[in-house]
Structure 1
Amino acid sequence: MKQKKLSKFGGFLERKPRGGTLHLTVALLVFAFTAVMLGCKENGETPLTGVAHNPAIPVEVNTFMPDSGGIRTKFVIKGSNFGNDKSKVSVFFKDNETERKAVIIGINNETIYCLAPRQNGGSNIVRVEVDGKAASTAKTFKYLVAENVSHIVGVRGEGRATDGSLAEGRINRTFGIAALGNDELLTFESLVNTVRFISVPSNKIITIQTSFDGTQPAITKDRSKVYSIGRSFPHRVYVYEKNTLWAPKIVAAQIASAPGIIMSACLDNEEQWLYFRERGGAFGRMEIANPTNVEIIKAVTPGANSGDYNYMSYSPIEDCFYYTVQGQHSVYKMSKAGDVELYAGNGLGRSDGFRTDAQFNQGSGILVDLDGNIWIADSSNHTIRKINKNSGFVSTVAGIPGVQGASSGIPALSTFDYPYAFAVDENNAMFIGESWGCTLRKLAIE
């Protein structure tokens, strides 16, 4: 059977030998029509025309196609009374944790064209909401998860600062990462005291600052500014801005009231203060517009030990902080007022389970993802752990407990060499900086 491309629609036309009929799959036909009817206008799309939504009658969802797929799968919903105003319509996919919005491409009164959002694997309920009226069907969408650990830059054990292509480049111990979006990063490398810019699309790594031992930075919600606090006293503070091509600019010469080691900077939802917790347990903040205004909120917080490193991450969903304490193998939850509770950890070990039963081995980097789940770089276990925000269950997502290495691929079979620093991008992909491993890796779960 010969195949002839339909270049206009991006599909395939199957022709039977000697005068056979033409066949085009339903999915390709639907999206061929979508491409033609949507066209392009000033914002890249033209809404489909059709009958307006009638608020006096119900919204109905009859069916959808396809039955399964992954993130950004093209998705068609058939029903009635959707109207023709895209601004009044929302499509939600609900997995075992939460509902997430799909991106709507076009609409008419009986059809919605959209892209599936990133979900957890398994069955999803699809719900349509039009001007406050909701409808769904008993049919479910099977979300197929693609998981992968990939290598970005660096060679295990070759800790040095070498610029060039990603294959040629070398990095040192990475204590901080900022995910700038579109697979571009800033890394803060200890021992060599350098800040690097890494671009996967441009295949390059370049040094943008030397003589600064910065650690885990804070990034604004629009990913246009990155703030980093120097690890050691006097704790210089720098900002890196997108509109200046991430060139460093000093914000404060010191944070004098925090003499101990600081491993993280955090912004809250208002982005007016830079929060920190130093190794001796002091929790405080610096006003960005007035850097001399530094407040110590709590002089000592649990887990204070002069020998313990700790990382901190802000949860915009809960408006609070989570921090690790390496030597106590624990995770703490802290309010903005400095009130603290032990959140996860039950001594030295590597077992999964409910958060207060699970065990860690010198957990270091910590982040809260876009859904509110908490991730731990379980450094001396050489694994990546996840605390589910709803169930509180701690699971090992990537790495083999107790096994050092540098292999990529399937997360459960991959190996790490002291994973240390963390960042999450706009797609919930995680970037992992290894300490002694001297590599940068990406964990994508889609």
Structure 2
Amino acid sequence: MKSKKFEFLLPILFSGLLVFAHSCKDETYVYQQDSDKGTPFNPNLPVEITGFMPDSGKIAEKVVINGSNFGNIASEVKVFFNDGYSDKEASVISVNGSSIYCLAPRLSGGDNQIKVIVSESTETVAPKTFHYTASAYVSWVAGIGLRDGTGAFYQDGTLAESHFHKIMGIVALGDDQIMTFGSYESMANKVRFISVNDNRVITLQDGVYLGKPAINEDKTAVYATTLNPTHTVYEYRKDNGWMPYRIGEIPERGSGYDHIQSMVMMDKEHDPAQEWLYFCHKSGYFGRFNINTQQTEDLGENLFDQADYVGYLVYDKFNNCFYLSHHTKYCIYKISKTGATWTDGVRSDIYAGSPSQSAVVDGSLADARFRDPRGMCMDDDGNLYICEFNNSNVIRKISALDGYVSTVAGTLNVESPQTNGDPAEAIFLDPRDISYDGNGNFFIAEWWEATIRRYAVQ
């Protein structure tokens, strides 16, 4: 009887051990809102961090911060990771007095300082750093490219069926939606809408030769102007299905046949009404257009040497200035205001590269060289990304931290076959423009036999 009773109890004991082992194994990784557990926050005592685990990881890494006086209300606790650019807030899952469970945000690669703030007042910093491993890859988004041979044509349909030709500009709308703007040829002079989630490409506007568009901060309105005079300004609104509406014209400036390659809009902090579109004429004029009054203001002239097509423009909200890529001068210009407002005067200076040397060389702002800089965009931290066109086939980055110019994607001087994967081994075919979606994705538009590519950094 004794042995039979033992045999009967064995399954129960074994299952109990399994439950215990499973609960111990998952204790660190199963998050619950323990608002009724742990010691409440005491404002008269310091908040202390004794350590955290793991020491390193990537985006959405589960991080457990140990210490004291964290309280027991998750909504009153904030955790920030600082990657040298700025504080990035983590998602706090639960708090139990001596432990905080959170998910690491998207960061720049390298060491990050962890900071905890409780009840919006008490702040403390971890005694060590968290090493973030950023991963990057290049992937295909849409377009046939070279798959069916060369030739100028376009085609709507699924992402795999679509064909693009000579894209001048691209803009990321968020939620994996994109618009492209084509060049002067009949197979290219179109505005296209791409929805990755819906697996479709459609033509929104036909027979227009438009440059790089501007987009407002909420990503609800896009603006573009025809490259040639008279420069007709079009508006595309999300609430109207991104259909085009003509809202005004920009007068021609300078001698010779004028061009406007791109337009940009400031953020809400610097333009609360989001009403001004800034642009450069190829003759060296710098101006802005008001979308509400349809008035144009000239802000400066003779800012740079004339080019067939003046370069792409980007606004830097961190330094309240503009950058212009000048492909015939192989450099990036910086456009700054000289007074209290932009109407008080502007100036331009060479920011990176040299007008006397065309090459792809990484280095400091003064030592770096560009061969054919075209489309540009800026990420959340103020890093500037630049397409190297005309057989260079690489993407360059100017760091906001130290101004170092590096090559982050593409294979120099190689254009076929179009290849995805590791950014260092990826192959682009004349990348013409680039746009950032605010969520770690850079969408790149190629020029000849184009595909749309994604350079993702997580």
TM-score band, normalised by the shorter chain? 0.7 to 0.9
Measured in 1, the distance between the counterparts of 2:122 and 2:205 equals 54
1:20-419 to 2 correspondences below 5 Å: 21-22=17-18, 23-24=21-22, 28-34=26-32, 37=33, 51-84=39-72, 86=74, 88-130=76-118, 131-154=120-143, 155-156=145-146, 157-190=150-183, 191=185, 192-252=188-248, 254-258=249-253, 260-269=258-267, 270=271, 271-291=274-294, 293-302=295-304, 304-336=305-337, 337=342, 338-346=346-354, 347-380=357-390, 381-405=392-416, 406-419=418-431
Measured in 2, the distance between the counterparts of 1:91 and 1:306 equals 49
Q: Deviations over 1:282-332 (max 9, x none)?
A: 1000111111x1001012212x31424310001111111001001000001
1:430 aligns with 442
Measured in 2, the distance between the counterparts of 1:317 and 1:261 equals 28
Corresponding residue SS for 1:32: coil
How far is the alpha carbon of 1:409 from its aligned partner?
Answer: 0.6
Corresponding residue SS for 1:160: coil
Measured in 2, the distance between the counterparts of 1:222 and 1:440 equals 23
Q: Contact between 1:257 and 1:296, CA under 8 Å: does it hold in 2?
A: no
How far is the alpha carbon of 1:334 from its aligned partner?
Answer: 0.7
Measured in 2, the distance between the counterparts of 1:260 and 1:267 equals 21
Output the amino acid matched with 2:162: G
Q: Contact between 1:229 and 1:235, CA under 8 Å: does it hold in 2?
A: yes
* Pair 287,170 (structure 1): closer, same or farther in 2 beyond 3 Å: same
How far is the alpha carbon of 1:75 from its aligned partner?
Answer: 2.7
Corresponding residue SS for 1:444: strand
Structure 1 residue ranges, 4+ long, deviating more than 4 angstroms after superposition: 17-20, 47-52, 84-88
Corresponding residue SS for 2:49: strand
Output the amino acid matched with 1:143: Y
Output the amino acid matched with 1:445: V
Question: For structure 2, which runs of at least 5 residues remain unmatched after alignment?
Answer: 1-10
How far is the alpha carbon of 1:209 from its aligned partner?
Answer: 1.1
* Pair 33,431 (structure 1): closer, same or farther in 2 beyond 3 Å: closer
Corresponding residue SS for 1:349: coil
How far is the alpha carbon of 1:201 from its aligned partner?
Answer: 1.2
Q: Deviations over 1:26-63 (max 9, x none)?
A: 673334342xx37xxxxxxxx66665432221111223
Measured in 2, the distance between the counterparts of 1:194 and 1:49 equals 60
Output the amino acid matched with 1:266: V
Measured in 2, the distance between the counterparts of 1:231 and 1:27 equals 62
Measured in 2, the distance between the counterparts of 1:80 and 1:374 equals 41
Q: Contact between 2:231 and 2:252, CA under 8 Å: does it hold in 1?
A: no
Output the amino acid matched with 1:333: K
Measured in 1, the distance between the counterparts of 2:152 and 2:115 equals 50
User: Percent identity of the aligned residues?
Assistant: 36
Measured in 1, the distance between the counterparts of 2:114 and 2:23 equals 23
Measured in 1, the distance between the counterparts of 2:117 and 2:151 equals 54
Output the amino acid matched with 1:299: E
Measured in 2, the distance between the counterparts of 1:264 and 1:159 equals 24
How far is the alpha carbon of 1:137 from its aligned partner?
Answer: 2.5
How far is the alpha carbon of 1:360 from its aligned partner?
Answer: 0.8
The structure number with the bigger radius of gyration is 2
Measured in 1, the distance between the counterparts of 2:347 and 2:92 equals 42
How far is the alpha carbon of 1:20 from its aligned partner?
Answer: 8.8
* Pair 232,48 (structure 1): closer, same or farther in 2 beyond 3 Å: farther
How far is the alpha carbon of 1:85 from its aligned partner?
Answer: 5.0
Q: Contact between 1:159 and 1:170, CA under 8 Å: does it hold in 2?
A: no
2:3 aligns with none
Could you tell which deviates more after superposition, 83-92 or 233-242? 83-92
Output the amino acid matched with 2:423: P
Measured in 2, the distance between the counterparts of 1:200 and 1:124 equals 33
Question: For structure 1, which runs of at least 5 residues remain unmatched after alignment?
Answer: 1-14, 39-46
Output the amino acid matched with 1:298: G
Measured in 1, the distance between the counterparts of 2:24 and 2:215 equals 44
Q: Deviations over 1:385-441 (max 9, x none)?
A: 001112111101011222223111100111111111110012131111111241111
How far is the alpha carbon of 1:132 from its aligned partner?
Answer: 3.0
Measured in 2, the distance between the counterparts of 1:85 and 1:335 equals 46
Q: Contact between 2:138 and 2:422, CA under 8 Å: does it hold in 1?
A: yes
Q: Contact between 2:60 and 2:105, CA under 8 Å: does it hold in 1?
A: yes
Output the amino acid matched with 2:250: I
Could you tell which deviates more after superposition, 149-158 or 223-232? 149-158
Measured in 2, the distance between the counterparts of 1:307 and 1:200 equals 34
Measured in 1, the distance between the counterparts of 2:127 and 2:407 equals 33
2:6 aligns with none
* Pair 136,261 (structure 1): closer, same or farther in 2 beyond 3 Å: same
How far is the alpha carbon of 1:195 from its aligned partner?
Answer: 0.7
| Aligned length in residues | 418
2:7 aligns with none
* Pair 92,161 (structure 1): closer, same or farther in 2 beyond 3 Å: same
What value does the CA root-mean-square deviation take over the aligned residues? 2.3
How far is the alpha carbon of 1:275 from its aligned partner?
Answer: 0.5
